Amino acid sequence: MLNIIIYIRREEGMKLAHNKIISLILIIFIAVCLTACGTLDMMVGLKDENNPDIADLSDLTDFEIVEDTIGEEALEEPYEEVIETVTISTEEAKMTNIMAYYEDEYGFVVPVNTKIPWEEGIAKATLRSMVRGSETEKRIAQSGLRGVLPEGTEIRGMSIKDGVCRVDFSKNILNTSTLKQEENLISAITYALTEFPTIDKVELLVDGQALSSLTNGYAINKGFERENINLYGSADGVNYTVYYKAPDTEVMGHYVPITFSAAKVGNPVEFVMEKLFEGPPADTTLSNNIPVGINLRDVKVIGDSAVVNLGVEAVNLSEEDYKDMNSIVVLCLEQYGISDVEFNIEGLSFEQAGLYFEDSNVTPVFNQY
């Protein structure tokens, strides 16, 4: 606005004498300076009594003024929002991973990696999650799994001493209908509790009393160790566990551990791989995720690595078949501390045999609900 006024004055000044032009410009300049100074005083409070600490405009910078204002005015309200966010994160942190054991529709005991709210006595909480009708069982129901402990079973007490865990159950644990159900119940309880590093053996009480057997005759007058889950064949000899794949449900499939007993072998890794490639017991609905026609030649173990040597038929592997096979092989070998698995074909690497698959090193996470 000032520029326009001056411009007009200058146009008019072309018709005036030189001395009048100079006088008019000086008057306008003085008026502008006085107005601007007054505006600055109002903006920064240079002469205001409410700002006694500010003695001179040169003591201030724009940065200092803006920082001061934002720091004081914006501090209070967002503080509550930050607290609320921390509270949500804390709630999530209270969930903890457990390995619980359930029964599938085919009668197999199945390990499940799931989360439950953290609490003191997490071993008892794990057992409660395995009771029929529990919130955890309801959550995984679509997977075709069910609790192994009869509905209404309570854990009255638990003690752990020298690796032995003694659990006192309510009498509802006696509400079983078959010997097989009782076998699965004991197996699931034992495996779930021995997942904890301080527990090696499990003993059972019912309403504070040591019983000789459950309702259908399964003996419980001894301690139970981690062995013989889903046992096939004789219990004599050394146990070897092989994982097979159960049929997919509407949600997903799951892996089932099968125990085989045999004489002690020099290379247990190779024995387990032989069992996997042979396929599951014929009277089951399980599968081995190994493409039809693929044969195992041998397995070599070097430290925490295993080299699985396949027959020449493997040159026809698709990448999808390879990934499925790799997943179940890695799962089976995890129990032996194998962290790296390499496949060969008649002693040649996949690349040398003309197969170029993406690196599919997998972490053996399974049955995660």
Residue pLDDT, tens place only, 136-192: 999 988 888 999 999 999 999 999 999 999 999 999 999 999 999 999 999 999 999
Residue pLDDT, tens place only, 12-39: 444 444 455 555 555 665 554 445 444 4
Distance between CA 103 and CA 95 in Å, rounded? 24
How far is CA 44 from each of CA 57, 129, 137, rounded to the nearest angstrom? 8, 66, 67
Q: What is the per-residue pLDDT for 28?
A: 61
How buried is residue 144: exposed, middle or buried, by Cβ count under 10 Å (0-12/13-18/19+)? buried
What is the bridge-based pairing of β-strands 231-232 and 255-262? parallel
Higher pLDDT, 31 or 49: 31
Distance between CA 296 and CA 273 in Å, rounded? 8
3-state secondary structure of 85: helix
Higher pLDDT, 307 or 58: 307
Distance between CA 131 and CA 109 in Å, rounded? 14
Domain map (residue ranges) of the chain: 2-88, 94-226, 239-369
The mean pLDDT value for 331-346 works out to 94
Q: What is the per-residue pLDDT for 248?
A: 84
CB 284 within 8 A of CB 276: no
The mean pLDDT value for 201-205 works out to 98
Q: What is the per-residue pLDDT for 364?
A: 63
Residue 9 has pLDDT above 60, yes or no: no
**pTM, rounded to two decimals:** 0.73
Distance between CA 336 and CA 308 in Å, rounded? 14
What mean pLDDT value characterizes the chain?
81
φ and ψ of 202, to 5 deg: -125, 135
Q: What is the per-residue pLDDT for 146?
A: 95
DSSP secondary structure of 90-110: HHHHTEEEEEEEEEETTS-EE
Higher pLDDT, 28 or 357: 357
φ and ψ of 29, to 5 deg: -60, -45
